[in-house]
Structure 1
């Protein structure tokens, strides 16, 4: 494939968002901004402006007498931008625009599924180009909000990005977010890694797949509409994530919450993208599963109070642990389960092979079962 990639390992499961009262998020999908009580994608901008000028908001001081440390940091910013920005592209659809990352020298570009939406053809503008190049869809995997598109006639000199090791992402690392916010191509903002291991549920609608994604990287680098699909980069010039979500404040009718953005980690990106390119589909999701089909359970007051099992896969993790149709799951480990969505969120923070205690009710009695999680099967 001729794509350089560091070895990657899954990030350890970490803290989840503290709930809808703590923050919200919005998915900014093609042609629309969907404000929700959950999260907001930094998705496609509905604007049509396509500035060819570069906009760098790195935030380093440029006073007439900077310190030596300031000079070194500024030099590092500029070196990383020069190395990585040529690998970040602008993607245009009939309904909006977003960003993408050059994945290999064959013309494959990885981006968010919500940037692609229902489109199958695209215009791609390289960082050093002014004319949009034609591209077509390779495959999309909405469950992880990732997709790959391919340039019809890849030009020479493509610059594939180098992806970092997700296990080495740490709090406080400086990050640069690259993409096309509001249609301003080749823009860069800076921040730090402010959390790891976040589990985030995207809102549905407006082109958003509504995916629940685990192990996301939280960053203070500004992420705006149009940034989705762009690169979150460390000062070694490695892509550590794809810019995907921006948090919102429900109390202010979905206004942006400054300094809280989320990126899908490099390990997930490379795993999913490699499968989409090779097979046109995902055969190993890397996501934990119980091997059941479930729906939200409502109590006598019609309030959500768990997840009812409506089908159990033969030989799957739940079946092996003795769970049955009709059981109502109320807790995964220490995490309460109040609905199907909260069950999905709890599982997204875990990895296949993990052994967890599942608390459930059967015939009005609370019970527990130790379940070794399997892998989510894809169609």
Structure 2
């Protein structure tokens, strides 16, 4: 039988397929010049779909490398945080398959057969480099007498049109991705998400903290790029609200972070390392994890949701959503191993609970500033014992603020706070995180150790702006 290409893209008989029009699309099979018939494929259309999927994946990889992301603050130790990092990590690319490896050309075949397989490999690489849904053609010549050029056309199913169950990761991603944006400032970048049809967007304060005269730009899922106005920021909670001039946006749906349990599945969406519309999945690993983030001048304290979903620099400000696609947190920080500036996901990411985010965002939209609760004490950061020690009076101010909530109930300098509302306090940072989980005006129960004696106080939290 003469070598050539046979159409596999139509539901016709073998005789009809031999004379089919190669420009009609579909999948085609190359047959060597041998007396043996080519083996039949069980489902030729499945091959077409698999090749199309390969085109989509490689095309996405080819788009990587442009842009930078620095949106994830880095937790260097359980209660200390480094400044956000800014880097792009690239990896070597390899498309070839070594001879003799699984899927590669085997040794010992006749030269002509090796040539045919090598050409098919080139065809697959070309498909991987092309856009999904396009047509890829490859000219093949035949060394046998009377041979002529043969053209093969491989059709591809349109990418992204396959429906998935709403509760699947793909279904969740499809529902939330249109509401997620990439945030760009002069020398940084991160993520955000839409909370109203008329243009309000939430992100992290540390994502836009370096915005200068060049302003802030948001890239939307539909390809639009719009300048954003800064509505307000809260360094204490690491939240910022932006607004764009648009009226047809798709907002997220808020969930309930108070009802989340350890082990619940979650999905993180954002622009890690500048790669927009990236989706990762995992579970909730822990609740109420005390985390501090930011620099000395704008340090934030987060009573965080911990997740093992991959979160990297650039994910900050993006949503952490539950299995129904509802936002339960804002990705804000990642843990690192302390190996210099090269930070990345090690399965320890932290998100600000959405209840706190909503309260802060509402304040920023209404007043342009946010408030946080205070006890009215100065803490001794040099204290090495268990708990948080109230500082002595110094040039920096009194240990207990006169007239403040702590002073009114009798807390004194030197007292060591060991418990709040039944939760053990081990460090000054943990005390602040526990307090920030409340609102000004909340009543809390505080247990202090005063020279070996435990005393219990009930106080009403005050407020400060920031």
Instruction: Provide the TM-score with structure 1 as the length reference.
Output: 0.72
Larger mean CA deviation between 265-274 and 115-124 belongs to 115-124
Corresponding residue of 2:261: 170
Greater RCO (Cα-Cα under 8 Å, separation 6 or more): 1
Alpha-carbon distance, 1:342 to partner: 4.9
5+ unaligned residues in a row in structure 1: which ranges?
Answer: 1-27, 55-70
Contact 1:308-1:327 within 8 A present in 2 as well: yes
1:228 to 288, 309, 316: 316
Alpha-carbon distance, 1:247 to partner: 1.3
Q: Is 2:378 aligned against 1:293?
A: yes
User: Match of 2:174, SS?
Assistant: helix
Q: Show CA shifts across 1:341-376 (max 9, x none).
A: 454245346673221212235xxx756342325144
1:157 to 241, 248, 263: 248
Alpha-carbon distance in 2 for matches of 1:258, 1:48? 15
Q: Is 2:224 aligned against 1:139?
A: no
Alpha-carbon distance, 1:224 to partner: 0.5
Contact 1:30-1:114 within 8 A present in 2 as well: no
Alpha-carbon distance, 1:274 to partner: 0.8
5+ unaligned residues in a row in structure 2: which ranges?
Answer: 1-67, 91-130, 133-162, 393-397
- Supply the RMSD in Å over aligned alpha carbons: 3.7
Corresponding residue of 2:42: none
The structure with more radius of gyration: 2
Alpha-carbon distance, 1:245 to partner: 1.1
User: Match of 1:275, SS?
Assistant: helix
Alpha-carbon distance, 1:263 to partner: 0.6
Alpha-carbon distance in 2 for matches of 1:221, 1:353? 35
Alpha-carbon distance in 2 for matches of 1:318, 1:40? 28
Q: Is 2:432 aligned against 1:344?
A: yes
Alpha-carbon distance in 2 for matches of 1:43, 1:308? 30
Alpha-carbon distance in 1 for matches of 2:75, 2:353? 24
Contact 1:108-1:149 within 8 A present in 2 as well: yes
Alpha-carbon distance in 2 for matches of 1:305, 1:275? 29
Corresponding residue of 1:182: 273
Corresponding residue of 1:211: 300
Alpha-carbon distance, 1:203 to partner: 4.9
User: Match of 2:211, SS?
Assistant: coil
Alpha-carbon distance in 1 for matches of 2:200, 2:188? 20
Alpha-carbon distance, 1:80 to partner: 1.5
2:419 to 326, 329, 332: 332
Alpha-carbon distance in 1 for matches of 2:71, 2:302? 23
Alpha-carbon distance in 1 for matches of 2:217, 2:347? 30
- Shift of the 166–330 alpha-carbon distance from structure 1 to 2, 3 Å rule, reads closer
Higher strand share: 1
Alpha-carbon distance, 1:134 to partner: 0.5
Alpha-carbon distance in 2 for matches of 1:47, 1:72? 32
**How many residue pairs end up in the alignment?**
317
